[in-house]
Structure 1
């Protein structure tokens, strides 16, 4: 099943859909020979979506029982439903943001319409290094997921939340997931159906943060991708306050309150500003040692 989309002038596929991938080897979302592949567990069954630039167009091809579902959502997944209304005026108020808005004008925010797959990743990213989170995520997808339909053998469909909800904590332990995150993940999986039925990012944020173990950081990471929320700010992030303060005020260190104050003029698009800063690699100067890698599996 094929759908031809026409992106706006300057659209950047990799910069947009790259927000869906946890690195180059993400089992559920990755580029393979110039085509971006994204998998989903849809109401109609497992599916894989292939997005390929063909001249000025974007070809969206679906595979598997859920092919029609992912192709119908292909424009949202690619970020083509992203609404930039009012952002140019806000960006013009700060020279750095104005420059990034021009330089990275082709980066659009995707909206997958799926909460739990992004929640799985976000919970595993809590309070650990990126490498630790990826190792746990990749192992859990391969343990509880299934090979994706289509021609790419390395792709997997995300796990069924019911399978994770039914798994005892100790099943996740060998993957480096301690009991706190495992219990959070299992609780969220048990109410995944209700989370998927949320009408918008506001309702989803309220429901997510009502769950023990899920705070504003995790909720923002989820709704920014599931709903394409351009205002979602990951409060509680280890690096983000420093990045924002350095880019917008030349301050190498900041807390969440200072970050939010600097982002206040961009209300409605605060998360977009953070995305642009990250796309430009505008990190603050490093100080001190990196967070060490640990293995909970041996505890």
Structure 2
């Protein structure tokens, strides 16, 4: 793989540094980066087949990053990356990891390993050879929306993220799509008044966890360079209100964690159990089912999710709660 500077930006796009990321293997932006999107209307990302816009804060300031697939010799791939704003250089430097350059599927795709996998997984992988697990390297931008998702429906969590980022985020620099924002800096999250947490339908437990994490933000951001493992999970879980489920969800995005399983998820264990055995199970049962593929358990889960499998629905769904009435 290579990542080189372009001679000049395309004339049809306002000036901004451009680089190209080349891979000898297939790559799909939409499939790979979809895990980063927090619902329809997420102000921090716009994702479409073949292209993506992202806005985020960097140590050098806000940045807008545009990624676009371009023709490349088969079976390889090329992505054009262009950035704007004070953090443009930092954003471009983060592109290889963001696109999953270090996400190695070699062992997973080995014939001997594939022979141990359920047909559902191998067939889905065959159709999705272009998937990579992204590594954003931005801890707080993953931690905060994950905390917002604790013990509520995704509808509630996505609404809260959209409301708070739209209201307090930084306008995306450059020619970003209308309404795009970089998520607020930790000091801005800490200044959000209680009534706006209330309007965002965020209860005291989740807002308090976010505020505690923001007070530790500088140390937490350094974990972006920490290796995956129990120590990283423990350091994330040292923030009161951040548990093993949250740590797994964070590292799936910040580190492209190939073995990270979201234990404690409201739906995942039952979903994995039904997909692999036809019967629902609990967290312990899910981990037992996934144990033969330790080291690649998140890859297996992603393939199941991409397979299109839908577990049978029994009983009422978890209803959204209006925390403004509490």
Interval of TM-score (by shorter of Structure 1 and Structure 2): over 0.9
Matched residues in 2 for 1:234 and 1:185: separation?
Answer: 19
Match of 2:59 among 43, 66, 69: 43
Hey, what does 1:189 align to over in structure 2? Answer: 214
Aligned counterpart for 1:87 among listed residues 100, 108, 114: 108
- Mapped contact 1:220–1:233 kept (Cα < 8 A): yes
Q: Which one of 166, 169, 179 corresponds to residue 154 of structure 1?
A: 179
The answer to whether the 8 Å contact 1:91/1:266 transfers is no
Taking a change above 3 Å as real, the CA distance of residues 283 and 33 of structure 1, as seen in their structure-2 partners, is: closer
- Structure 1 residue aligned with 2:80: 59
Answering whether residue 154 of structure 2 is matched by residue 126 of structure 1, we say no
Contact 1:17 1:79 in 2 (8 A): no
Residue 85 of structure 1 deviates from its aligned partner by 3.5
Deviation at 1:159, TM superposition (A): 0.8
C-alpha change, 1:93 and 1:34, in structure 2 (3 Å) is closer
CA distance in 1 between counterparts of 2:234 and 2:34 reads: 27
**Residues 262-287 of structure 1: CA distance to partner in whole angstroms, max 9, x if unpaired?**
11111111111111111223232111
Residue 174 of structure 1: how far off its partner (Å) = 1.5
Aligned residues: CA RMSD: 1.7
- CA drift at 1:91: 3.4
Please give the per-residue CA displacement for 1:226-275, whole angstroms capped at 9, x wherever unaligned: 01111110001111112211222222x11000000111111111111111
Distance, in Å, in 1 between the alignment partners of 2:194 and 2:292 is 44
Contact 2:28 2:50 in 1 (8 A): no
1:257 aligns with 2:284: yes
Larger radius of gyration: 2
- CA deviation after TM superposition for structure 1 residue 166, in Å: 4.1
CA distance in 2 between counterparts of 1:8 and 1:250 reads: 38
Q: TM-score scaled to structure 1, two decimals?
A: 0.94
**Residue 296 in 1 paired to residue 312 in 2?**
no
Partners of 2:258 and 2:222 lie apart in 1 by: 20
How far is 1:54 from its partner?
1.4
Instruction: Name the CA distance, whole Å, in 2 between partners of 1:201 and 1:116.
Output: 17
Which of 228, 237, 245 is equivalent to 2:273?
A: 245
Where does residue 37 of structure 2 map in the other structure? 21
Residue 276 of structure 2 is aligned to residue 278 of structure 1: no
Does residue 109 of structure 1 match 2:133?
Answer: yes
Encode CA deviations 1:156-185: one digit per residue, 9 max, x unaligned: 011101222344544412210010111111
Instruction: Pick one of 284, 287, 292 that aligns with 2:314.
Output: 287
CA 176–224 in structure 1, closer or farther in 2 if over 3 Å, else same: same
Q: Which moved more, 1:284-293 or 1:162-171?
A: 162-171
| Local SS of the residue matching 2:46 | strand
Structure 1 gaps of 5+ residues are none
Within 2, Cα distance between the matches of 1:21 and 1:8? 26
Distance (Å, rounded) in 2 between the aligned partners of 1:28 and 1:114: 13
The alpha-carbon deviation at position 101 of structure 1 amounts to 2.0
For the residues of structure 1 that align with 2:152 and 2:262, how far apart are their CA atoms? 15
Q: Distance in 2 between matches of 1:14 and 1:32?
A: 6
Give the Cα separation in 1 of the matches to 2:307 and 2:42. 22
Contact 1:109–1:228 (8 Å) recurs in 2: yes
